[in-house]
Chains A and B, each alone.
Chain A
Amino acid sequence: MIWRHRFRLWLRNLRLRVRFIFRKAAVEEELEEELQFHLEQEFEKNLRAGMDPREARRQALLSFGGTERHKEQVRDARGVRPIEDLVQDLRHAARQLGKRPGFAFVAVLTLALGIGANTAIFSLVNSLILKPLPFEGGDRLVQLWRRGEQLGRTVSLTPTREMAAAWRRESQAFDAFAAFDEVEFLYVDGEEPRTLSAAAVSPELLTLFSVAPVVGRLFSADDAVPGRNHVLLLSESLWRTRFGADPNVVGRSIRLDEEPYQIVGVLPGRIRRIFEGGFFATEPKELWTALPAEPDGGWSSEPYVLARLRPNVSEAEALAELEVIQAQLQYQGVDAFDWRPQIIAPADALNADLRTGLWVLFGGVAFVLFIACVNISNLLLARNLQREHEFAVRRSLGAGWFRVIRQLLTESLILSLVGAALGLFLAVGLIHAVAGSLGSGIPELRAARVDSVVLVFTAGLAFLTASVFGLVPALRIRTTAPAELLKGGGRGEKGMPRQTLLRNGLVVTEVALALVLLLGAGLLVNSFQQLLRVDPGFEAANLLAVDMILPETRYPDRVARLAFWDDAVGRVKQLPQVRAVTWARAVPPQLPAALGTVVIEGREELDDPDANPVHVGNWVSREYFETIGLPVRQGRTFSDENRVDFATPVIINRTVAERYWPDGGAVGSRIQLQSPFNPDRPSPWLDIVGVVDDVKAWWLGDDPDRFQFYMPVTQIVRAGGVLIVRTAGDPEEMVPLVQEQIWTVDPLLPIQEAYPVQDRLMGTVARNRFNALLMSSFAAVGLFLAVIGVFGTISLAVGQRTREIGVRIALGANRAAIVRTVVGRTMWATGIGILLGLALALALNRFIQSLLFQVRATDPATCLGVVAVLGTVAGLACVLPSRKAMAVDPREALSEE
């Protein structure tokens, strides 16, 4: 009852207020009429009391008091004052900004740049670190792994079938489980065989991701039954490019790996971003098949296992529960090895370097925005100085200083909101560039998106920047007393020293921030150059690699596979542009890793605590070393007799050879490899037949101390291999020719990937390149803004003191001395800014150190260079204003007043 009543009252009130605001003229007219009526009644009363008309009018007016004041009070009582004021402020602000379009243009553009860049980087941080899984319950989704301590290193693997089944069966901490695996399929599209990158997913996964199919259906539990899992979901892009977006594609059957699969639906493009994001960071998937589950709930292929925490269950609680389940498994003897469960949250899954890099870039871009704010602050200060007269007039007309400040803040807010709106467009462009060419080689970046969180961030940033750059100039006007200003003809010379102090403070801030930015960029660029200077150990230029997987059906054994490779190598060798051809299991920078210890015959007790337990191994053919340009330092490469024999030759890298055989003699010694997973079953004794140079096995900045070994590829021939071609010219151009030769050997063989090795090698430093590139751009913008700031400050200082300079010149002062005093102050401020910046950089350097390769964050050369650049540029910014100061004509300067 009471609520209904309140609601009616509220509605009535709203109607009244709406009328106050939108029918203001009518409301005012009524008020005027009402007061007029009152006055007339009073007048008539006085007449009746016997006064003559003039006296009656006078008395009525006298008793009534000031009409305008009464009106004001009634207006106040209407309770819509704040809104009216806001509307008035906005109008006034727009008018003021329109009066000086140049200022507004510069300010809005600067802000758009700053806010746009911040929005773009934030959207990366948001979609990769803060909210990598943008769907309901995504923040509760974790990956479940098994972890074991071996040789002082932690090894993490996906859980075994028994583990996954037990966890799934017995755990109460999770409300959903799912799994996925990466697979590749041979698909013959018309004539040309292709490999399609696919994910085998459990039906629950797509439900967890809350995706709806574009057409058709998702997988059902029935599809996960082994033997019935030949069902297929297409990616939207494959559906559009290969199937002409035909909605009737559902029900059709296509052959993958020479087996029929039935298409049941099409998944939207959104799911690609989820998979390519930080949590999974997989290659783009073109299709999805159902992952068969075992009756016990586990998966025999040991896929990635995902689980969703129940609401209010913490990671730690869930882990404790899994530990208990795992202990039971061990007790029952199901788990032979001492594996512990491990929970990986989306944020942990992201590459640590990438994460640090993003935070550092976020910091850098925040600095840019801060410099932009300081610049606009400076502009506003100068502008407010010219508007002091206006403020004084407004204040003497009764506007409180709070009202005037609010007016100024409204102007700032308009600037930053317009800037933010423009910045948003800029951000979308930047994100596009980052996901494309800027971030090439970093697939995670493709997950970047602008969502509601980003929009809220941008809006918040607009308000924050408005208060940062608007508050100081607005508060500054508080100190100027209106009467004095109006008297003094608009020149508040009393405020000058404080004004100068504030200005110089702004210069100090800008220079300090710019220095930190420049130093950050300098270090990252320096580090990237160091990486580029690294010798990979082989000749990567003009080297083409062709990855292939021989289908099991046609190449069931060693003999068939060897025959294929021999044939392929022989044919490609015939091509005119080819200098050399070989094949191996892999090629740098993607060599297989192995974990273990090296045992040297006769020195079995040798236990090297410094040995890097992560090894690099490759299985290569005889011509491998010559083809990739890896020099043999001692001994020989493999010979043809090594194709099938019992003695197993091995070739090792120089660093390890020199460590264990400092006086030579590695060749002829025998070693054994021990794996932590099979400690009782070491490899057979291997004869060292040669020593080669170290190569960068995984990336250009790789540790040099790893044990690298090579064995004949002919001994264990796996399905996968790589054809390595040394070309005379651009390897990219050779791709079709090489492909053609391979297809003459086997017209149905898909080529996994053909790529120049040099490109792949550069891809390993893509993150370093990205960081250096973005930070340099930020630093360039920051430097530019800071220089404009310094230039503006000095120009204004010279402009304001023209009269003083004129007087001093008239009194015979040395012009150069005058310039020194005017410019000197700003140079001092620049100097202090440089020192402060160095101190700030020192405080921040631990954040950037982990991103640097062979460069200390305190690298003196970089520091000196940055200081020199900043000092020079600041000095140049002084030149024009000083020349203006030098050229002051005393007569003109004095007659200006």
Chain B
Amino acid sequence: MKNPQADFLQGTLDLLILKTLALGPNHGWAVAQRIRQISNEVLQVNQGSLYPALQRLELRGWIESEWRKTENNRRARYYSLTPVGRWQLEKVSKRWRRFAVAVELVLQSG
């Protein structure tokens, strides 16, 4: 069922979500927007992966959700990082950075 690439991408998406939520609680749409903006429109987050990922992260206890009003007085589900999530983010981003450096080295050596 699962291919390694999907796993890899999923791990990346989780990291991006955590990173985005580290800036402050937000709703799903905003999370997707921010990822897109920060990555200069390079990373497009598909809704089909975003919401399942949010669900998964919540079950893991890394984020939690609550219903709040937006500035426009609309009801929306806001996600926020839990302490475990923050710790996890640090761990994963360190790993990610090491990985990114490694990829960079490989590419440069060519």
State the Cβ distance, A14 to closest chain B Cβ, in Å: 10
Interface centre among B30, B32, B52 (most CB of A within 10 A): B52
State the Cβ distance, A508 to closest chain B Cβ, in Å: 40
- Bound-state CA distance A857–B58 (Å) is 70
Say whether A70 faces chain B, with CB atoms less than 8 Å apart. Answer: yes
Say whether A65 faces chain B, with CB atoms less than 8 Å apart. Answer: yes
Find chain B residues with CB under 8 A from A12 CB.
Answer: 61
Find chain A residues with CB under 8 A from B28 CB.
Answer: 34, 37-38
Contact present for B76 and A35 (CB under 8 Å): no
A407-449 to B contact mask, C-beta < 8 Å, 1/0: 0000000000000000000000000000000000000000000
Contact present for A34 and B76 (CB under 8 Å): yes
Known: A12-B61, A41-B29. A77 touches B56 (CB 8 A): yes
Say whether B91 faces chain A, with CB atoms less than 8 Å apart. Answer: no
Say whether A16 faces chain B, with CB atoms less than 8 Å apart. Answer: yes
Find chain A residues with CB under 8 A from B56 CB.
Answer: 77
Contact present for A73 and B59 (CB under 8 Å): no
Say whether B4 faces chain A, with CB atoms less than 8 Å apart. Answer: no
Which of B27, B59, B84 interacts with A79 by CB under 8 Å?
B59
Contact present for B29 and A42 (CB under 8 Å): yes
Known: A9-B61, A38-B29, A42-B29. A73 touches B48 (CB 8 A): yes
Find chain A residues with CB under 8 A from B46 CB.
Answer: 65
- Bound-state CA distance A678–B53 (Å) is 92
B32 nearest in chain A by CB position: A38
A80 nearest in chain B by CB position: B59
B-side interface residues, number (CB < 8 Å): 24
Say whether B75 faces chain A, with CB atoms less than 8 Å apart. Answer: yes
Please report which residues of chain A, range 11-49, place their CB below 8 angstroms from some CB of chain B when the two chains form the complex.
Answer: 12-13, 16-17, 30-31, 33-35, 37-38, 40-42, 45
- Bound-state CA distance A16–B30 (Å) is 24
Find chain A residues with CB under 8 A from B47 CB.
Answer: 35, 38, 64-65, 70
Say whether A69 faces chain B, with CB atoms less than 8 Å apart. Answer: yes
Say whether A745 faces chain B, with CB atoms less than 8 Å apart. Answer: no
A34 nearest in chain B by CB position: B77
- Bound-state CA distance A12–B75 (Å) is 24
Known: A30-B77, A37-B27. A13 touches B61 (CB 8 A): yes
Find chain A residues with CB under 8 A from B48 CB.
Answer: 65, 69-70, 73
Say whether A258 faces chain B, with CB atoms less than 8 Å apart. Answer: no
Please report which residues of chain B, range 17-49, place their CB below 8 angstroms from some CB of chain A when the two chains form the complex.
Answer: 27-30, 32-33, 46-49
- Bound-state CA distance A79–B61 (Å) is 14
Say whether A846 faces chain B, with CB atoms less than 8 Å apart. Answer: no
Say whether B99 faces chain A, with CB atoms less than 8 Å apart. Answer: no
State the Cβ distance, B20 to closest chain A Cβ, in Å: 15
Find chain B residues with CB under 8 A from A16 CB.
Answer: 58-59
Contact present for A9 and B27 (CB under 8 Å): no
- Bound-state CA distance A52–B40 (Å) is 26
B56 nearest in chain A by CB position: A77
State the Cβ distance, A385 to closest chain B Cβ, in Å: 32
Please report which residues of chain B, range 54-83, place their CB below 8 angstroms from some CB of chain A when the two chains form the complex.
Answer: 55-56, 58-59, 61, 67, 74-77
A186-223 to B contact mask, C-beta < 8 Å, 1/0: 00000000000000000000000000000000000000
Say whether B96 faces chain A, with CB atoms less than 8 Å apart. Answer: no
- Bound-state CA distance A79–B28 (Å) is 20
Find chain B residues with CB under 8 A from A74 CB.
Answer: 51-52, 55
Say whether A78 faces chain B, with CB atoms less than 8 Å apart. Answer: yes
Interface centre among A31, A38, A65 (most CB of B within 10 A): A38
Say whether A348 faces chain B, with CB atoms less than 8 Å apart. Answer: no
Find chain A residues with CB under 8 A from B29 CB.
Answer: 37-38, 41-42
Find chain B residues with CB under 8 A from A31 CB.
Answer: 51
State the Cβ distance, B110 to closest chain A Cβ, in Å: 36
- Bound-state CA distance A30–B67 (Å) is 9
How many residue pairs bridge A and B at CB < 8 Å?
64
Contact present for B58 and A9 (CB under 8 Å): no
- Bound-state CA distance A846–B32 (Å) is 76
A576-595 to B contact mask, C-beta < 8 Å, 1/0: 00000000000000000000
- Bound-state CA distance A551–B24 (Å) is 101
Which of B27, B49, B53, B55 interacts with A78 by CB under 8 Å?
B55
- Bound-state CA distance A749–B55 (Å) is 88
Which of A9, A37, A38, A70 interacts with B84 by CB under 8 Å?
A9
Find chain B residues with CB under 8 A from A38 CB.
Answer: 27-29, 32, 47
State the Cβ distance, B33 to closest chain A Cβ, in Å: 8
- Bound-state CA distance A292–B94 (Å) is 81
Contact present for B76 and A73 (CB under 8 Å): no
Known: A9-B84, A41-B29, A42-B29. A35 touches B59 (CB 8 A): no
State the Cβ distance, B78 to closest chain A Cβ, in Å: 10
Please report which residues of chain B, range 82-110, place their CB below 8 angstroms from some CB of chain A when the two chains form the complex.
Answer: 84
State the Cβ distance, B25 to closest chain A Cβ, in Å: 15
- Bound-state CA distance A41–B34 (Å) is 13
Find chain A residues with CB under 8 A from B58 CB.
Answer: 16
- Bound-state CA distance A16–B46 (Å) is 25
Find chain A residues with CB under 8 A from B51 CB.
Answer: 31, 34-35, 70, 73-74, 77
Contact present for A77 and B61 (CB under 8 Å): no
Find chain A residues with CB under 8 A from B84 CB.
Answer: 5, 9
Find chain A residues with CB under 8 A from B61 CB.
Answer: 9, 12-13
Interface centre among B27, B29, B67 (most CB of A within 10 A): B29
A31 nearest in chain B by CB position: B51
Find chain A residues with CB under 8 A from B77 CB.
Answer: 30, 33-34, 37
Say whether A84 faces chain B, with CB atoms less than 8 Å apart. Answer: no
Say whether A76 faces chain B, with CB atoms less than 8 Å apart. Answer: yes
State the Cβ distance, B13 to closest chain A Cβ, in Å: 12
Interface centre among A34, A65, A78 (most CB of B within 10 A): A34
Find chain B residues with CB under 8 A from A65 CB.
Answer: 46-48
B77 nearest in chain A by CB position: A34
Contact present for B75 and A33 (CB under 8 Å): yes
Find chain A residues with CB under 8 A from B33 CB.
Answer: 45
- Bound-state CA distance A78–B84 (Å) is 19
State the Cβ distance, A37 to closest chain B Cβ, in Å: 5
Which of B32, B53, B59, B74 interacts with A37 by CB under 8 Å?
B74
A6 nearest in chain B by CB position: B61
A365-406 to B contact mask, C-beta < 8 Å, 1/0: 000000000000000000000000000000000000000000
State the Cβ distance, A85 to closest chain B Cβ, in Å: 16
Please report which residues of chain A, range 679-707, place their CB below 8 angstroms from some CB of chain B when the two chains form the complex.
Answer: none
Please report which residues of chain A, range 469-494, place their CB below 8 angstroms from some CB of chain B when the two chains form the complex.
Answer: none
- Bound-state CA distance A70–B77 (Å) is 16
Find chain B residues with CB under 8 A from A76 CB.
Answer: 52
- Bound-state CA distance A33–B49 (Å) is 17
Known: A9-B61, A30-B77, A70-B48. A77 touches B55 (CB 8 A): yes
State the Cβ distance, A432 to closest chain B Cβ, in Å: 52
State the Cβ distance, B52 to closest chain A Cβ, in Å: 4
State the Cβ distance, B96 to closest chain A Cβ, in Å: 22
State the Cβ distance, A30 to closest chain B Cβ, in Å: 7
Find chain B residues with CB under 8 A from A34 CB.
Answer: 27-28, 51, 76-77
Find chain B residues with CB under 8 A from A40 CB.
Answer: 74
State the Cβ distance, B18 to closest chain A Cβ, in Å: 16
State the Cβ distance, B60 to closest chain A Cβ, in Å: 8
- Bound-state CA distance A255–B8 (Å) is 89
Please report which residues of chain A, range 52-99, place their CB below 8 angstroms from some CB of chain B when the two chains form the complex.
Answer: 64-65, 69-70, 73-74, 76-79
Find chain B residues with CB under 8 A from A33 CB.
Answer: 75, 77
Apart from A13-B61, A38-B47, A41-B30, list 8 A-B contacts with CB within 8 A: A13-B59, A34-B77, A37-B27, A37-B28, A45-B33, A65-B46, A77-B52, A77-B55
Q: 10 tightest CB-CB pairs across the interface, nearest first? A: A77-B52, A77-B55, A41-B29, A73-B52, A9-B61, A38-B29, A74-B51, A77-B56, A34-B77, A70-B48
* 29 A–B contacts from the bound complex (CB under 8 Å): A30-B67, A30-B77, A33-B75, A34-B27, A34-B77, A35-B51, A37-B27, A37-B28, A37-B29, A37-B74, A37-B76, A37-B77, A38-B28, A38-B32, A38-B47, A42-B29, A64-B47, A65-B46, A65-B47, A65-B48, A73-B49, A73-B51, A73-B52, A74-B51, A74-B52, A77-B52, A77-B55, A77-B59, A78-B59
